[in-house]
């Protein structure tokens, strides 16, 4: 019981550093709010969408292999996820959800339609630290597909 308690405490501490991989496609007819907070209907194409995940809009023309292209536009973090008007903590691959994206203080100017649109895939912002954190603490919550998504994203974000 003590070990489980310690593990849970460590997980809660590391949760701040862990960013789960997610790639979403915006559903164009479900744009509810364009600015602060941005509220969109999305389809989770890869990975898992979780609360407090930092998000960015990717350049639809840039593939992981091609260097150059537009940099990903940081658009905020996931403040809420809803499925059929019910709040949930996470959403998996293939689900259509409504996501509320709240900006950080330096992102309050970001606006749907101006900085990104429905053609831009939305992705979590991963880093070397977040990948290491997932390996250490969240192995049991990651599927093989999630790791494949991480590998693709590493190429996109130029992470070694």
CB count within 10 Å of CB 63 equals 11
Q: Is the peptide bond before 37 cis (omega within 30 degrees of 0)?
A: yes
Q: If DSSP states are collapsed to H, E and C, what string results for 107-129?
A: HCCCEECCCECCCCCEEECCCHH
| 94 Cβ contact list (under 8 Å, min separation 6) | 43, 44, 45
Tens-binned pLDDT, residue by residue, of the chain (160 aa): 888 888 777 777 766 678 889 999 999 998 888 888 889 999 999 989 988 889 988 877 765 545 555 678 889 899 999 999 899 988 888 999 999 999 888 878 888 888 888 888 999 988 888 888 888 878 888 889 888 888 888 888 878 7
Q: Could you tell me which residues are beta bridge partners of residue 22?
A: 47
Contact 106, 40 (CB under 8 A): no
Structure confidence at residue 118 (pLDDT): 87
Half-sphere exposure of 103 (CA within 13 A, CB side): 17
Q: How many CB atoms lie within 10 A of CB 18?
A: 23
Q: What's the predicted TM-score (pTM) here?
A: 0.81
User: What is the model's pLDDT at position 14?
Assistant: 67
Dist. CA 106–CA 70, nearest whole Å: 19
Using CA atoms, how far apart are residues 110 and 96, in angstroms rounded to an integer?
Answer: 23
Which residues, listed in sequence order, are joined to residue 90 by a DSSP beta bridge? 50
């Amino acid at each position: 019981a003590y070990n489980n308690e310690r593990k849970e405490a460590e997980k809660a501490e590391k949760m701040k550093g862990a960013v789960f991989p997610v790639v979403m496609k915006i559903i164009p007819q479900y744009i509810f709010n364009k600015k602060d907070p941005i509220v969109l209907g999305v389809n989770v194409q890869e990975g898992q969408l979780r609360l407090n995940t930092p998000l960015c809009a990717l350049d639809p023309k840039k593939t992981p292999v091609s260097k150059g292209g537009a940099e990903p536009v940081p658009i905020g973090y996931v403040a809420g996820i809803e499925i059929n008007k019910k709040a949930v903590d996470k959403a998996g691959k293939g689900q259509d959800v409504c996501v509320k994206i709240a900006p950080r203080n330096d992102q309050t100017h970001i606006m749907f339609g101006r900085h990104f649109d429905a053609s831009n895939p939305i992705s979590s912002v991963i880093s070397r630290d977040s990948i290491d954190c997932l390996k250490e603490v969240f192995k049991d919550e990651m599927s093989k597909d999630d790791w494949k998504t991480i590998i693709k994203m590493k190429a996109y974000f130029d992470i070694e």
